Amino acid sequence: MTSQSLTDTPVTSRSSLKPIPVAFNGRGGEYFGIWIVNIALTVLTLGIYSAWAKVRNKRYFYGNTEVAGASFEYLATGGQILKGRLIAVAVFVVFSLLSSFISPEVYGLFMLAFMAAMPWLINAGLRFNARYSAYRGVRFRFTGTYWAACKAFFLYPLLGMITLGIMMPHAMHYAARYVVTNHAYGNKAFKFDATVKQYQSVVLGLVIGIIASIALIAIGFSQASIAMIAVGYLAIYGLSLAFKPLLFNVYWQGVNLQKNRFEANMPVGRFIWVFISNSIVVALTLGLAFPWAQVRLAHLNANSLTFLHAGNLGSIAASQAKEMSAVGEELGEVYDVDVGFGI
Amino acid sequence: MAAFNTRQTLTMTQTFSAHFYPEGFADSQTVTVLLDASGWLSFQAFDKKYRCPFNQVTVSDRLGRSPRFLTLPELGRLETRDNDFVDRALRHFGHQGKRTLWLPKLERAPLWILGLLIVVVVTGWATYRHGIPAMARVTAPLVPDKIRELAGKEALDWMERGWLTPSQLSEERQQALRGAFDRHFGDQLTGLNVRVLFYNSDAFGANAFALPDGTLVFTDQFVALVNEAEFLAVAAHEVGHVRHDHGIRGIISSSALVAATLLITGDSEALSEIIVTAPYALAQLSYSRDMEREADTAAMELMQAAGLDRQAFASALRKMVDSHGVSEDGASRAWEEYLSSHPATDERIKRFE
């Protein structure tokens, strides 16, 4: 492990940023042991241990992610998660039971209330996660508001759909910016300088690719060439997978904090290969290769990032933070509401 | 780096290397930490001397080779990869952090991992094979009929939108079939809300199915293919589905399967990133095959009670196989799907011969 001298003076020009590769040090075999013990204890305790298992899984991926010599810490406790999870499951069960006894009108009202709570759930999840994530002993924070989350996750995507996708790049940009700029590390907020144009070119590239593939399939049908049809379908599948690495690169290059930033270049072909081979191996082993697949993906994510250090991290101060409950986060998980910081 | 044996007492001063993060700032310095025999940690950072009793330090649990975090109250945090040293120190000084040392040991012991893997696979298999179906069987009667109606109506609406068109059969033919159905099975349907519907469907071809609310759907193509005895035999099979509440049980068991998997793997985020749909699909298919077998058994009983020849079911199945095997259009694909959710047809035919 290299030690960084981090008390040096801040630098301003981009060329003087010091590139430090982001590293992931986990190993599939090692994580398998942790994962299987987690599952065994979860089964033996009839699910109760799952809260501690979640913490251990998260801590494994945090602790093995190294940026500039320091690792990430996940600080939530199993007890906290269990409490949140129990309340969330109770709410879920009551809601599901109620829904079969009440009239459709009341049920509709319930659904509306639930829809209205969605932005709050997303925020609660992000807030909890940030609050209990730390780097160099300093915690993260999330300060997004209800109304901004409404716009980021519902109104703008809706607008994107109404305009047949023309506004979609704007919506994607807004959502990413919302998530990034409302995160803070200690007392300093993150900034996001990816442009709508970058999102537009990603979307445009994919749309052109898909149109070309459809054309290829059409020509394939007219000439009865199965090879052409197959290539067309494969191309569409590949393009849909290419979306993630392309967005990953735009997103992480846009994230910055006090002039510290990231270089991101996830190779599209490599991502598609990892994704497809992971899926096949996990399916063939009936899920047993899941830890290996997860570690492999974490390696790819980390290897695609380079931290550009401005040398001023040491001046960032921690900010006061109150303890908070995991109910919102766990409710979001029960209903599968999930917005990751890293997309 | 530390270099003393587990058994040896800490008589001399020991050191380990760490990163120090002072309280309140994201600053960092590499330090060499001294742990002396009286249980005090001391090191020098940022031109200052730091000292803290080891027993007041909170130590994070060991987790593979990932670094440990030592929280020094009011002073800051130490991050070290010298996991073995930390473990020995915890034991030596009777630190409360030693209580959880068994867990990381378990996670690294190949024999324990193998043993627990067997426990997980066996309980997983038993839950999936017996636990979940049994749970579905017990809980299905608790589901109010209103849900059955809703699910049945939903399913029918959905199919009417894409695959079913109004039946071309004459009213007399429909009445004749319904009459035969009622004559033979009427007295055995008490408590079941069974109704017989006919639809034309090029997509499904010759086919019949039961919906959760007790609606039995037969396609015109099916009616054209079979004689009355064969129609009744397949109808008995569909009544078997209704009698055993297979629609609701299927919904319960598939959602229980998803919920259990999510709880166990515990990470919906990663799950959505990596497709694990293939094992799911296989599992659902095997539930569905079990239910087909159960419906076949019910059909045998129903036909016996109604005084029907059960050979008719075998010949109906054979006719359906032939009809789907020959056609070259979309129907053959539907048939493949149908096949995979049903047990091997030969095996089923044998049961009825």
Instruction: Encode pLDDT of B28-44 as tens digits.
Output: 999 999 998 888 999 99
CA distance B139 to chain A (A): 13
Chains A–B, number of C-beta pairs less than 8 Å apart: 173
Question: Are A30 and B144 within 8 A, CB to CB?
Answer: no
Instruction: Encode pLDDT of B281-316 as tens digits.
Output: 556 667 788 888 899 899 888 888 888 888 888 888
Q: Which residues of B touch A57 (CB under 8 A)?
A: 266-267
What's at B197, amino acid-wise? L
Distance between CA atoms of residues B10 and B136, nearest Å: 59
Can you list the domains of chain B with their CATH numbers? 14-100 (2.30.29.30), 144-351 (no CATH)
Question: Are B264 and A59 within 8 A, CB to CB?
Answer: no
Q: In angstroms, how far is CA B205 from the centroid of its own chain?
A: 31
Overall average pLDDT of the B156-167 stretch: 86
Distance between CA atoms of residues A115 and A158, nearest Å: 14
Transcribe A162-214 into DSSP letters. Answer: HTTTTTHHHHHHHHHHHHHHTEEETTEE-EE---HHHHHHHHHHHHHHHHHHH
Instruction: Encode pLDDT of B220-263 as tens digits.
Output: 989 988 888 899 999 999 999 998 888 888 888 877 877 777 66
ipTM of the complex: 0.83
Distance between CA atoms of residues B300 and A204, nearest Å: 60
Distance between CA atoms of residues A82 and B34, nearest Å: 38
How far are the Cα atoms of A54, A172, A261, B62 from residue A271, in angstroms, in the given order?
26, 21, 22, 31
* A255 phi and psi angles, rounded to 5 deg: -75, 130
* Predicted local confidence at residue A2, as pLDDT: 38
Question: Are A50 and B24 within 8 A, CB to CB?
Answer: no
CB proximity under 8 Å: B 191-230 to A: none
**Mutant choice from A20, A34, A54, A266 vs B, greatest count of B C-beta within 10 A:** A34
Angle between helices B277-305 and A268-284 (to 10 degrees): 40
**Mutant choice from B17, B70, B120 vs A, greatest count of A C-beta within 10 A:** B120
Distance between CA atoms of residues B35 and A151, nearest Å: 54
Produce one character per residue of B138-150: b if its CB has 16 or more CB atoms within 10 Å, e if not.
Answer: eebeebeeebbbe
Q: What tokens appear for B167 in the block? A: 């039946």
| Residue that the structure tokens 């010298």 belong to | B82
* Predicted local confidence at residue B252, as pLDDT: 84
User: What number of other Cβ atoms are within 10 A of residue B230's Cβ?
Assistant: 21
* Predicted local confidence at residue B330, as pLDDT: 42
Instruction: Encode pLDDT of B56-76 as tens digits.
Output: 999 999 999 999 999 999 899
Predicted confidence (pLDDT) at residue B342 exceeds the cutoff of 90: no
* Predicted local confidence at residue B271, as pLDDT: 45
Q: What tokens appear for B36 in the block? A: 């002396």
| For A338, nearest residue in chain B (alpha carbons) | B269
Radius of gyration of chain B (CA): 33
Question: Pick from B49, B28, B22, B35: which is nearest to B85 by CA?
Answer: B35
Task: Give every CB contact of residue B5 below 8 A, 6+ residues apart in sequence.
Answer: none
Predicted confidence (pLDDT) at residue B340 exceeds the cutoff of 70: no
* B82 phi and psi angles, rounded to 5 deg: -80, 70
DSSP state of B68: E
Question: Pick from B12, B73, B75: which is nearest to B43 by CA?
Answer: B75
Question: Are A56 and B63 within 8 A, CB to CB?
Answer: yes
Question: Pick from A106, A97, A91: which is nearest to B147 by CA?
Answer: A97
Q: Which residues of A touch B266 (CB under 8 A)?
A: 38, 42, 50, 53-54, 57
Q: Which residues of A touch B272 (CB under 8 A)?
A: 338
Low-confidence stretches of chain A (pLDDT < 50) are: 1-12, 340-343
Stronger pLDDT, A324 or B47, i.e. the higher one: B47
